[in-house]
Amino acid sequence: MHNEILTSVSGLERSMTEALMRLCSVPAVSPHSGGKGEDAKILELAKMIDGLGLKDITLKVEHVDDDKAPTGRRPSLFLEYPGKKSRRLCILSHVDVVPEGDRSAWSLDPFKPEVRGTRIYGRGVSDNGMCLVASLFALKAIQDAGIVPEYTVLLAFVADEEMGSHYGLEQLIERDIFRADDLVLVPDSGNDAGDFIEVAEKAVWRLKFTVTGKQTHAAYPNHGLNACRVANILAHEVDDALHARFTGKDETFDVPYSTFEPTKRAANVPAVNIVPGREVFEFDCRVLPGEPLDEAERIVRGIVADVGARTGAEIALEIDRTDAAEPTSPDSDVCRLLVKSVREVLGVEPQCGGVGGGTFAVFFRKKGIPAAVWSQECDGVAHQPDEYTEIEYLVNNAKVFALMMAGE
């Protein structure tokens, strides 16, 4: 039976390639990052599913309100197909993508995907379009081979993962969609070898600082208060303090220590001869489980108060925090099923460990539902210019998903 499934998937390679390019030609950038959200992409995905001729499936769209979205809400699409057992294998991928960033750094239009040799290039082809398409075509391969899956299959194509899932899974998981006995796979992290299964994630901690001084001409800085300088002082002191305090290590994580990275900085003034009166910058922090985030917050707020008092600037701090959840056991049913399928397709022995986060898995783990994170994907291409995926990986992921659907 497994040979029939693998052969069926292999025969869909061209169709999968075309589907991935078609889907990734539709931007789905968060309205909180300057985009229009997922509506157009969900509509295109629904058309694609209709064209595949899948039988006996149930489709449902779930919405989450978002006043920044053009429609006032963010859509997620769920597809269910009955198997021999009512217990479900749930595969969750996300339809949203990050912005393209500096367009000049791309060698192609990010939303006009291209095949170059063995690869597909374009924004979202790796993160997370490849696995979205692979999960859908895994189900098609099962049906084409005339095989009834062991488990009922639930494919979830979810909004807002890239911005923290506030308008996606964070609210959806509170609805009557998922079950305690679901086998949950999140194919949103992996490596080229396909030999790593993520079972634990760090806490995700994002800090946004808004520094308000007084704008003036750069020739007369004494007439103003340079928010850029204050921001530089603040960023340096926060960076040093967090690294000095949080020095723990956990070798089960691929980066075995907590990370505190200054990342985003908003545009301030249009000309070099203007002293900015407002500066906005952010930190992205990934903190090992067990580290005291409450203490980290106290440290940062103390620095904010001190720098504000020393400089006279007003400083506002916003915190977006997702605490770490209990790890998924490598002996859980979903991990055992995944290991068996990966071993058969790739001929490797997967190892379980932790990553910097964050994925959908944390929401399931906090509900006590074991979730595994795995895919075969190209290292280091997500969120980069000229993002790409190997066509071979697209096919291999579909094979692993299809074998998991077929069961042990």
**Residues with a known catalytic role:** 96, 161
Give the CA distances from residue 119 to residues 20, 22, 99, 195, 392, in Å, rounded to whole numbers and listed in that order: 12, 15, 21, 21, 8
**Residue written as tokens 């103390």?**
302
Q: Residue 297 corresponds to which tokens in the numbers above?
A: 């917050």
Residue with structure tokens 């095989």? Answer: 147
394: buried, middle or exposed (CB in 10 Å: 19+, 13-18, 0-12)?
buried
